[in-house]
Amino acid sequence: MALRTIFTEEDPILRKTCRPVDEVTDRIRMILDDMVDTMRDAQGVGLAAPQVGIMRRMFVAEPEPEEVYYFVNPEIIAEEGEVEGEEACLSVPELMGNVVRPAKITIRGLGRDGKEQEYTFEGFHARVMCHENDHLNGILYSDKAEKLFRPAEQEEEEAE
């Protein structure tokens, strides 16, 4: 497996809408595996295909260690409630922001094996899935954040 370059916010590729994946092939599985390795190497909890320059509707997420989810052609089919929380992104380095997201979602898509899957997530897991799904539509969390800040600045404000 290979580590891939993570594109950052100034790259226009991150503002484009991804195309569906026609079929989960060995090549798609290899890309998904590379994405997991790249995400882990960068110490992230999710990574969408456009972040590594691939304009296809797929992402990987690992909201808890060794709890990896693969989504190909994902679709959020239900949302409940709202909750505000801090987010960061491998494509927007060194910044964080407060974003309102659904408290609970149901998401459907194909897994790494090409079979349909459906999950319901709450809390942090739901936030991660929504964040990654937004990437597939050319949306960055920074577009939705009320305020962006550097984590060190936030710590200084809280200490005062």
Amino acid, single-letter form, for residue 5: T
For residues 51 and 7, the answer to whether their CB atoms sit within 8 Å is: yes
pLDDT on residue 147: 87
The set of catalytic residues is: 132
- DSSP H helix total and E strand total for the chain: 4, 8
* Sequence-distant (≥ 6) Cβ neighbours of residue 85 within 8 angstroms: 98, 99, 101, 124, 127
The domain in which residue 50 lies consists of: 12-159
pLDDT on residue 13: 96
In a domain, 137, yes or no: yes
Number of independent structural domains in the chain: 1
In a domain, 71, yes or no: yes
In a domain, 3, yes or no: no
Matching residue, tokens 């319901």: 120
For residues 142 and 9, the answer to whether their CB atoms sit within 8 Å is: yes
In a domain, 93, yes or no: yes
pLDDT on residue 1: 72
CATH no. for residue 125? 3.90.45.10
What is the mean pLDDT, run by run of 10 residues, along the chain of 160 residues? 94 97 98 98 98 98 97 98 96 96 98 98 98 98 93 60
In a domain, 2, yes or no: no
pLDDT on residue 157: 54
pLDDT on residue 6: 98
